[in-house]
A and B are shown apart, each in its own frame.
Chain A
Amino acid sequence: SQQGEEDPQALSIQEGENATMNCSYKTSINNLQWYRQNSGRGLVHLILIRSNEREKHSGRLRVTLDTSKKSSSLLITASRAADTASYFCATPTNFGNEKLTFGTGTRLTIIP
């Protein structure tokens, strides 16, 4: 079963604009991770945010986590064509566990 649900399912924006995608999950977590996947290839780890963190930055990426609402958001600023990909949030099924449950993903398309 899917632990996380991403919203929106698909997003198209102009190059240079910011892209925001959201993730909701169901159970308590100790961290939440975001991954990117290009065209049915392997996933690339983007960022891990722990449950005691509210915001984390990595380059053009900004992730927020609201454990009271069981939600997270990923913001990509100044988007580029190379950002076109599917983005997934993932949470460990149990504390201290490598078993990740992935959300349904957001398909992001950057229009040059």
Chain B
Amino acid sequence: KAGVTQTPRYLIKTRGQQVTLSCSPISGHRSVSWYQQTPGQGLQFLFEYFSETQRNKGNFPGRFSGRQFSNSRSEMNVSTLELGDSALYLCASSLGGQGSHEQYFGPGTRLTVT
């Protein structure tokens, strides 16, 4: 099975711009979660989508949004970028359904905001 893929792998944006990151989960996985990783805050949960619905949400401002398509692929969008949004954004997929399961992570998208 192919693993989780994320595009693009690297991105440089300017403050005030917006960005869209994409994640393709492992075939058959219905849950997609997004995490932000920074040296200062570590790994922080952004949101999780299951069957095209946001099921869980972390403590991030409304500038961070996401969606999931019928084929389970997911996108996250960050509007009005700030310098502090520079981070590694990780997507993870899992079977979803009832209970919690091991998650399979993509390689991440490294976002740099200048």
Contact = CB atoms under 8 A, between A and B. Distances in A.
A98 B108 contact: no
A98 B98 contact: no
B105 A99 contact: no
Given A101-B45, A105-B42, A96 B104 contact: no
Given A98-B50, A102-B42, A104-B42, A42 B103 contact: no
Contacts of B66: none
Contacts of B108: 40-42
Contacts of A11: none
Contact of A98 (B56, B105, B110): B56
Contacts of B99: 30, 96
Interface residues of A, number: 26
Given A42-B107, A42-B108, A48-B102, A99 B58 contact: yes
Specify which of A30, A90, A95 lies most central, judged by the most chain B CB atoms within 10 Å of its CB: A90
Given A96-B98, A98-B94, A41 B107 contact: yes
Interface of A: 2, 30-31, 33, 35, 40-45, 48, 88, 90, 92-93, 95-102, 104-105
